[in-house]
Amino acid sequence: MSAEDLENYETEMELALYREYRDVVNLFSYVVETERRFYLANQVDVRTRSADGEVFFELTLTDAWVWDVYRSARFVKSVRVVTFKDVNIEELSKADLDVPKPLS
């Protein structure tokens, strides 16, 4: 496989992931962004923890979708995420859920 073939494959995978996101975003209430992943979820619980002087966040997401091109099953019933950096959580309003259609 050439470098160009690999790049084309990755581009196609990312495009397919975006299309899936566009199709499922209306099913969720929250967008959750960590330093490693992007999630859609219907319920989010965030707890601030500390150990040995370090602060971290423990998130529990219920009824979630994971933005990960290499993951075959992106829908998750429940997921626990631990992160040491800031977490961005946004509640989606119905107006936010209208993802623009791609140009033909």
Q: Is residue 11 part of a domain?
A: yes
pTM for the structure as a whole? 0.78
pLDDT at 9: 87
Q: Is residue 87 part of a domain?
A: yes
Q: Is residue 97 part of a domain?
A: no
70 band by pLDDT with thresholds 50, 70 and 90: confident
Which structural domain, as residue segments, surrounds residue 35?
3-92
pLDDT per residue as tens digits for the range 4-17: 888 888 899 999 99
Q: Is residue 14 part of a domain?
A: yes
Integer angstrom CA distances of residue 9 from 5, 14, 16, 38: 6, 9, 11, 21
Which of 72, 76, 51, 48 lies closest to 64 in space, CA to CA?
76
Integer angstrom CA distances of residue 83 from 2, 4, 13, 29, 56: 36, 35, 26, 21, 6
Quote the number of domains for the chain. 1
pLDDT per residue as tens digits for the range 17-30: 999 999 999 999 99
Q: Is residue 38 part of a domain?
A: yes
95 band by pLDDT with thresholds 50, 70 and 90: low
Extract the tokens encoding 79. 């997921």
Q: Is residue 98 part of a domain?
A: no
Percent of the chain exceeding pLDDT 70 equals: 89
Q: Is residue 66 part of a domain?
A: yes
Q: Is residue 100 part of a domain?
A: no
